[in-house]
Amino acid sequence: MEQKKPLSIAILGHRFMGRAHSNGWRQVPQFFDAPYRPVLKVACGRDEEALNEFASRWGWEEVETDWRKVVERDDVDVVDISLPQHLHYEAGLAVIKAGKHLFCEKPLAITSEQATEMFEAAQAAGIVHYVNHNYRRCPAVILARQLIDEGRIGDLYHWRGAYQQSWLVDPNVPMSWKLRKDTAFAGPQWDLNSHNVDLAHYLVGDITSVSCLTSNFIKERPLADDPSKKGTVEVEDAALMMVEFENGALGSFEATRFATGRRNHHTFEIYGSRGALAWDLEDMNRLQFLSLDDPDHARGFRNIIATERVHRYAKNWWPPGHIIGYEHTFVHAMADFLEAVAGNAPIKPDFEDGVRVLKVLEAGLASAESGKKVVL
Amino acid sequence: MEQKKPLSIAILGHRFMGRAHSNGWRQVPQFFDAPYRPVLKVACGRDEEALNEFASRWGWEEVETDWRKVVERDDVDVVDISLPQHLHYEAGLAVIKAGKHLFCEKPLAITSEQATEMFEAAQAAGIVHYVNHNYRRCPAVILARQLIDEGRIGDLYHWRGAYQQSWLVDPNVPMSWKLRKDTAFAGPQWDLNSHNVDLAHYLVGDITSVSCLTSNFIKERPLADDPSKKGTVEVEDAALMMVEFENGALGSFEATRFATGRRNHHTFEIYGSRGALAWDLEDMNRLQFLSLDDPDHARGFRNIIATERVHRYAKNWWPPGHIIGYEHTFVHAMADFLEAVAGNAPIKPDFEDGVRVLKVLEAGLASAESGKKVVL
Amino acid sequence: MEQKKPLSIAILGHRFMGRAHSNGWRQVPQFFDAPYRPVLKVACGRDEEALNEFASRWGWEEVETDWRKVVERDDVDVVDISLPQHLHYEAGLAVIKAGKHLFCEKPLAITSEQATEMFEAAQAAGIVHYVNHNYRRCPAVILARQLIDEGRIGDLYHWRGAYQQSWLVDPNVPMSWKLRKDTAFAGPQWDLNSHNVDLAHYLVGDITSVSCLTSNFIKERPLADDPSKKGTVEVEDAALMMVEFENGALGSFEATRFATGRRNHHTFEIYGSRGALAWDLEDMNRLQFLSLDDPDHARGFRNIIATERVHRYAKNWWPPGHIIGYEHTFVHAMADFLEAVAGNAPIKPDFEDGVRVLKVLEAGLASAESGKKVVL
Amino acid sequence: MEQKKPLSIAILGHRFMGRAHSNGWRQVPQFFDAPYRPVLKVACGRDEEALNEFASRWGWEEVETDWRKVVERDDVDVVDISLPQHLHYEAGLAVIKAGKHLFCEKPLAITSEQATEMFEAAQAAGIVHYVNHNYRRCPAVILARQLIDEGRIGDLYHWRGAYQQSWLVDPNVPMSWKLRKDTAFAGPQWDLNSHNVDLAHYLVGDITSVSCLTSNFIKERPLADDPSKKGTVEVEDAALMMVEFENGALGSFEATRFATGRRNHHTFEIYGSRGALAWDLEDMNRLQFLSLDDPDHARGFRNIIATERVHRYAKNWWPPGHIIGYEHTFVHAMADFLEAVAGNAPIKPDFEDGVRVLKVLEAGLASAESGKKVVL
């Protein structure tokens, strides 16, 4: 294999998104013939111990606690902002000023005013800028766009979207930065509807009017450091929207942290003059598609599993029909095997089990041959 | 992070399973606190060019074309056999003789006689031996076992399993090693029923009798190197089995390469005196569970998404509700971002899109505040 | 069987609802031990030929073209209004004035002002009055209410409803009374949202605020009697609502005639502090129910088929598990049998097929006995 | 409506099947333009009190306790045998001898020898003979056959059928005629596999070989009249079959009374060279259909709801999308309305509820007009 040119990455942040991004940078070269080989140069955070553990685990070469120093390093080509959203603006502008390419977690900033400033600066600087509304990169979502582009859905009439979680249903969940206005700015309108609105933009188009309804179901919660006291929840628990799109379609959005039983239930339905589409993140490899081109008597929503070679990204992973994520069973096997080598826990199935299976299979072929039941 | 002790791995084979195993060894340290850090020491194969490309891509330190040399190296602790199944026996015995731990792809060997010899040798040598029936390591399958162990299914009456693929439906699919007896020994009875029988062993128990029916739907296929000529398919296209289990349960198995529309459809249903279970690999994060303990009027199959912290392995990956595989959207984003940096293709959503989203969200909060529709 | 006291019914209207109501009155005595035996006394309509055909088919003893005469007959106990909605008001008031019990199709009237007058008059007259929001009488919907009443859902947070049809997607569908303001008053806001709002009232409670968005996707349609000319669609094609309930829950509603592929897709989701529910008319015998009382690792939406003896109405029909509507296969068989008796078309399966089946079954028992494959 | 010629029916039996058949004969004239009007002439049974109640409820004109007399009546054109299966043979032969048309419940007889005699006699007598494998008359099943006949499935490779019930899982279910060999002859092999084998005959074709496995999970059960004593279960609890079809397809069947959680779960999957089909009685209005004619990227099982005008029988019932059985909500409403008239229980929704709905709908239109939230 021709050795790819290196591209140096710096990451700001090392929590959930820091992990997800690190995994992304690490996995690209094995599965995609990308034009660069990402070098995990430096990880940045304020909690030095946690940062060191993070860098060691994910293979970041260096650590740094002052993000301003990272941004200005000559040996960094790309900065990856995986920070909480209220910190995107200041760090982002610094990255842009330093002329680095910028891979930024969503939402881009706290306000559209901040975001506009970032966009204009990035454009002026001529850098590559990306905001990570990652669900655009599900193979099934890309297939939805492809079917729309092919004209199979026709003129669009309806978007019905939802992003439903349930982590606040328990009144004992304590206060946190996500529930305070100065750090989170808003609730699910920001962190959930931002995803669903981006998909609506991607699949339907621009929005020209918005009506919205929000609510707080539980107004006070225990403080994390002193559960005997309570703090006020400052952001909405749920946000509903009805919108008009520029192309005449109507849309609805529902974002909530109080949908009991829904953990990460991100869905859309699209209805048009020639067909319809539906998708659900909790079953993310599938797209539902109905076409009026089907004959009357054989028309219904098709359950498409977007894991064929013709589906974007799918061919980079595994053979057709092997859903994305199937490979994790192998990681689990290796993890357990290592425990067995260390003598911590035996691993099964072992060779004895391998023998058991073969005896049954052999009995099967013998029975097929003889037409008789074979007793083991 | 305390640095883990290294463990040297050698891999034999570099095709589909070589990729899946390499990914497994690479991913373990980031997601699991395993007692060892796997060192990808040496990859072995006969096609030198492909082997070099494979080693470079996956980070194997060295390459070797003679597996006998690999097996005898002092600096190798574990051998991973990812070879075609008819080669497991000879290589496996050599590994065992050399006293290395052995991680072996399934099925363990071509015949139970070979497999028994391997098992007995491995046991005598005192090595760790594992045969990779990987579906035992789906969180939802482990949950099935847990529910059985907890007594929630009761005495078991029925196993109904199937492993359905469709890659031979097209009569133009050419002859290959998988269709010849000397290399594959058998058809789906070996490569598909082996998985389903292992799950039945894991979840139900030992099998005491077998009746079987096989068929060839298409008896001749074009030769790969000269499609004008045909070769004889020497292994079955489909294999059905009915079995009795030691505990009195009845079971059925269906393995086929002719189930049009099913790409990797591996399923089971289990019925017992207190409950029932159902699973489908194409929707692998879910387990269906019915309990007779539910009240009469509120009883039904529960659709459990096994991605909570309480589900084995799930907590090692992402927050609750984020299905395994969700993280691949990030890998896709990084891959496209690298293309954008190289100037090959622009990437969206960019900061302009980030602004668009925020404008809609802000209009929403303003509307919720005023009770009026906001025009953008 | 003790002979039930007769109760005389008059029906106004003989189209779709006239058929559905006639069937209802006819079927009650066979399946329910109702306190009266409905006598189908007189059917009323203006199209005399169609009315005669209708009365003959459904067994109405007499016909009448002037509804005022019907309302005043001494031998009528109950009037069933199955007329288009804009006629409910005048006829309804006359029925009430005559002191008859009133079974009225939905919506009750065109405006709430009319409806209030009807309600007050009916109450003053002391008659039994019922408005036929019939979906309250699905066993699965009643089960939803029962689970709420039992406290299994807890405090209610969210209602997400929709009633989606698609019969206007084709721009060639002509103008009709349903698309004119004087006869229909409104579009799906009236005929579809009325059903969904009634279910929300039944399951969640009173609504205290409403925001709404409507649209016309196709503004003109061909005239029915002269397709070369076009008329203006005077009612909305789709209506979205966001509401607040008195108990603090948020709700959303979507009613449309432009949801391609959805024919009669009436759905709701309810989320509360202890559980969640979901229902879909196109799969109307099932209720989805999730309970936080389930253990963490075994929690998921239960797919309850509401056809057990413990489910309201279900025991009146067929044995457990036989879904409502299963019996129609018998009606179909009788219809085809009558054709066969008339010599119009042979009917299968006949006794030859009955023999075929038994030969296979017998071969099965013989094979089970012998442990050998039996060739027929 | 032209008055149809009457056809006199006699029914033997008045239990579950007697009810289902009576309903069928009664419903035909309202929904189908059949060439005859069935006259429910005489019902026959041995329990005189139950028989009278049955005849009165279903409208049978006369009753008779001696089936021989019924068979010989001149004023009977058709005999409907709804008796337990071990009584079909003797009664059937008498009906045939008397030259009446014969509508017979399944299975045709206890043994294929009896059945053959019945078939030959019926054919010689020139009567219309029908055996009621009623599932052939589900619109979705007929659609399956139509798609096969149209060539959309191609050459058939696989049938995978099951009929799973669970009514014997509870060990306290007592002995009954269904568990004794002299009355039932066999267990689910007879009463469940007979249905599934008939569908396989209808959809796939003749069967040429059979392998079978049966079991008894619970060998003794309490006697119905003295639960302190136990009787021996004489028929199988479950029966599995593997078969070869004349056209080369392989098939499997599973019939059981021990599939916990399955109440009447009758299913099949069919795979062929051009497409695939799947059906489930518990969701009986739908057919799953996959076609290889779909483009690669948009291929998946289509969820067809067979309630369109183009689907056999569907147009005889209700408008498109209204599933068969939807009309039962009306019957329920009438039943409750009659209770209200009798003063036994109030009925809701009443006109007050009708008003409530209209107020919400009106507020919606006002809000859509003003762009403002309307407070009720």
> What dihedral do alpha carbons B114, B115, B120, B122 form, nearest 10°?
110
Average pLDDT in the A300-320 region?
A: 92
Average pLDDT in the A255-259 region?
A: 98
The total of other beta-carbon atoms located within 10 Å of residue C172's CB is 7
Token output for A310: 């013709």
The per-residue pLDDT for A245 is 97
CATH of residue B213: 3.30.360.10
Residues B151 and B119 in one domain: no
Residues B248 and B143 in one domain: yes
The per-residue pLDDT for B2 is 58
pLDDT for C3 beyond 90: no
Residues A151 and A284 in one domain: yes
- In DSSP terms, D148 is beta-bridged to none
Q: Is A162 on the interface with C (CB under 8 A)?
A: yes
Percent pLDDT > 90 in chain A is: 90
pLDDT for D1 beyond 70: no
Which residues in chain C are contacts of A292 at CB distance < 8 A? 169, 260-261
Count how many pairs of residues, chain A against chain C, have C-beta atoms within 8 Å. 128
Single pTM value for the model: 0.95
Query: D315-359, pLDDT tens digit by residue?
Result: 899 888 887 778 888 898 999 999 999 999 999 898 999 999 999
Which residues in chain D are contacts of A294 at CB distance < 8 A? 302
Mean pLDDT for chain D overall? 95
Closest residue by Cα to residue C69 from C44, C97, C102: C44
Q: Is D112 on the interface with C (CB under 8 A)?
A: yes
Residue A376 domain flag: no
Residue A323 domain flag: no
Residues A26 and A50 in one domain: yes
The per-residue pLDDT for C52 is 97
pLDDT-derived band at C2 (thresholds 50, 70, 90) equals: low
| Domain stops at, among C80, C98, C132 | C132
The per-residue pLDDT for A239 is 97
Contact between B192 and A363 (Cβ < 8 Å): no
Residue of B nearest to A3 (CA): B56
Which residues in chain D are contacts of C323 at CB distance < 8 A? 264, 281-282, 284, 325
Mean pLDDT for chain A overall? 95
Residue B323 domain flag: no
Residues D177 and D264 in one domain: yes
pLDDT for C27 beyond 80: yes
The per-residue pLDDT for D2 is 58
Residues D86 and D164 in one domain: no
Residue B221 domain flag: yes
Percent pLDDT > 70 in chain B is: 99
Mutate to test the interface with D, among C26, C208, C338 (most CBs of D within 10 A): C338
Q: Is A332 on the interface with B (CB under 8 A)?
A: yes
Window A:250-309, CB contacts with D under 8 Å: 286-287, 289, 291, 294, 296-305, 308
pLDDT for C317 beyond 70: yes
The per-residue pLDDT for B94 is 97
The total of other beta-carbon atoms located within 10 Å of residue D63's CB is 17
Query: C126-165, pLDDT tens digit by residue?
Result: 999 999 999 999 999 999 999 999 999 999 999 999 999 9
| Domain stops at, among A110, A132, A154 | A132
Residues B262 and B163 in one domain: yes
Contact D116 C201 (CB under 8 A): no
pLDDT-derived band at B113 (thresholds 50, 70, 90) equals: very high
Window A:137-156, CB contacts with D under 8 Å: 143, 146-147, 152
The per-residue pLDDT for D324 is 73
Percent pLDDT > 90 in chain D is: 91
Query: D177-220, pLDDT tens digit by residue?
Result: 999 999 899 999 999 999 999 999 999 999 999 999 999 999 99
Say how far apart CA C266 and CA C283 lie, in whole Å. 10
Contact A298 D294 (CB under 8 A): no
Report the gap between the CA of A305 and the closest CA in chain D (Å).
7
Residue of A nearest to B137 (CA): A329
Q: How far apart are the first and last CA of chain D?
A: 51
Query: B40-62, pLDDT tens digit by residue?
Result: 999 999 999 999 999 999 999 99
Mutate to test the interface with D, among B148, B157, B262, B303 (most CBs of D within 10 A): B157
Phi (first) and psi of residue A360, to 5 degrees? -65, -45
Residue B321 domain flag: no
CATH of residue C117: 3.40.50.720
Window D:37-66, CB contacts with C under 8 Å: 38, 52-53, 56-58
The per-residue pLDDT for B327 is 86
Residue C326 domain flag: no
The per-residue pLDDT for C109 is 93
What's the number of domains chain C is made of?
3
Residue B156 domain flag: yes
Say how far apart CA A196 and CA C327 lie, in whole Å. 44
Average pLDDT in the B99-109 region?
A: 95
Mean pLDDT for chain C overall? 95
Closest residue by Cα to residue A198 from B331, B347, B353, B334: B353
Contact C308 B297 (CB under 8 A): yes
Query: A108-146, pLDDT tens digit by residue?
Result: 999 999 999 999 999 999 999 999 999 999 999 999 999
Which residues in chain C are contacts of D330 at CB distance < 8 A? 20-21, 23-24, 132, 134, 137
The total of other beta-carbon atoms located within 10 Å of residue D116's CB is 18
Average pLDDT in the C344-352 region?
A: 91
| Domain stops at, among D106, D132, D158 | D132
Report the gap between the CA of C180 and the closest CA in chain D (Å).
16
Closest to D341 (Cβ–Cβ): which among C101, C123, C353?
C101
Residue D322 domain flag: no
Q: What is the three-state SS of chain C?
A: CCCCEEEEEEEECCCHHHHHHHHHHHHHHHHCCCCEEEEEEEEECCCHHHHHHHHHHHCCCEEECCHHHHHHCCCCCEEEECCCHHHHHHHHHHHHHCCCEEEEECCCCCCHHHHHHHHHHHHHHCCCEEEECHHHHCHHHHHHHHHHHCCCCCCEEEEEEEEECCCCCCCCCCCCHHHCHHHHCCCHHHHCHHHHHHHHHHHCCCEEEEEEEEECCCCEEECCCCCCCEEECCCCCEEEEEEEECCCCEEEEEEECCCCCCCCEEEEEEEECCEEEEEEHHHCCEEEEEECCCCHHHCCEEEEECCCCCCCCHHHHCCCCCCCCCCHHHHHHHHHHHHHHCCCCCCCCCHHHHHHHHHHHHHHHHHHHHCECEEC
Report the gap between the CA of D119 and the closest CA in chain B (Å).
32
Residues A144 and A243 in one domain: yes
Say how far apart CA D169 and CA D261 lie, in whole Å. 10
Contact C304 B305 (CB under 8 A): no
Query: C39-91, pLDDT tens digit by residue?
Result: 999 999 999 999 999 999 999 999 999 999 999 999 999 999 999 999 999 99
Contact A238 C158 (CB under 8 A): yes
Residues D76 and D161 in one domain: no
Contact between B34 and B4 (Cβ < 8 Å): yes
The per-residue pLDDT for C323 is 77
Closest to A57 (Cβ–Cβ): which among B29, B283, B338?
B29
Q: What are the DSSP E strand ranges found in chain B?
A: 5-12, 36-44, 62-64, 78-81, 101-105, 129-132, 156-164, 207-215, 220-222, 230-232, 238-245, 250-256, 265-272, 275-280, 286-291, 301-305, 374-375
Which residues in chain C are contacts of D194 at CB distance < 8 A? 357-358, 361
Closest to A143 (Cβ–Cβ): which among D147, D289, D297?
D297
Count how many pairs of residues, chain B against chain D, have C-beta atoms within 8 Å. 128
pLDDT-derived band at A2 (thresholds 50, 70, 90) equals: low
Residues B99 and B190 in one domain: no
pLDDT for D70 beyond 90: yes
Residues A103 and A251 in one domain: no
Residues D110 and D235 in one domain: no
Q: What is the three-state SS of chain A?
A: CCCCEEEEEEEECCCHHHHHHHHHHHHHHHHCCCCEEEEEEEEECCCHHHHHHHHHHHCCCEEECCHHHHHHCCCCCEEEECCCHHHHHHHHHHHHHCCCEEEEECCCCCCHHHHHHHHHHHHHHCCCEEEECHHHHCHHHHHHHHHHHCCCCCCEEEEEEEEECCCCCCCCCCCCHHHCHHHHCCCHHHHCHHHHHHHHHHHCCCEEEEEEEEECCCCEEECCCCCCCEEECCCCCEEEEEEEECCCCEEEEEEECCCCCCCCEEEEEEEECCEEEEEEHHHCCEEEEEECCCCHHHCCEEEEECCCCCCCCHHHHCCCCCCCCCCHHHHHHHHHHHHHHCCCCCCCCCHHHHHHHHHHHHHHHHHHHHCECEEC
Which residues in chain C are contacts of B371 at CB distance < 8 A? 211
Amino acid making up residue A335: A
Q: What domain range includes position C26?
A: 5-132
Which residues in chain D are contacts of A143 at CB distance < 8 A? 297-298
